[in-house]
Amino acid sequence: MYQLGFLLYVYLFRFVAIFHKKARKMVVGHKNSWRILRDGIDQSKPWLWFHAASLGEFEQGRPIMERIRKEHPEYSILLTFFSPSGYEVRKNYTGADLICYLPFDGIRLLR
């Protein structure tokens, strides 16, 4: 049931994106996330993953990321966003090693 609901959500959101600029940015960003993660993560290093649904959540977590970066430089930092409001503003944030949208889940997407 979850998979069906999820697929309906994705297709409806993609339809809305035809008419809505912010939704279109989000669809394109989410579409590229799996490739960015696959190509950008060096699996020989330890990673810490921070997720912020919005810009406000990023700003709350930023001091933690910066302290970890300072005290534990051996960790690489992955930063994901759900919405364009956070991603577009912080996509070039130098405190993270890899930044992308949080990829949509789903069995079909993992193959």
Q: Is residue 77 part of a domain?
A: yes
- What domain count does the chain have? 1
Q: Which domain holds residue 84?
A: 2-105
Q: Is residue 8 part of a domain?
A: yes
Q: Is residue 19 part of a domain?
A: yes
CATH code (residue 34):
3.40.50
Q: Is residue 50 part of a domain?
A: yes
Return the pLDDT at 49: 96
Q: Is residue 92 part of a domain?
A: yes
Q: Is residue 110 part of a domain?
A: no
Return the pLDDT at 50: 96
77's tokens: 């930092």
Return the pLDDT at 111: 42
Query: In degrees, to the nearest 5, what angle opens at C-alpha 63 toward C-alphas 37 and 22?
Result: 50
Count of CB atoms situated within 10 Å of the CB of 16: 14
Q: Is residue 111 part of a domain?
A: no
Q: Is residue 67 part of a domain?
A: yes
Which residues in the chain land under pLDDT 50?
109-111
Q: What global pTM score does this model have? A: 0.81
Tell which residue, 20, 11, 49, 15, has the closest CA to residue 33: 49
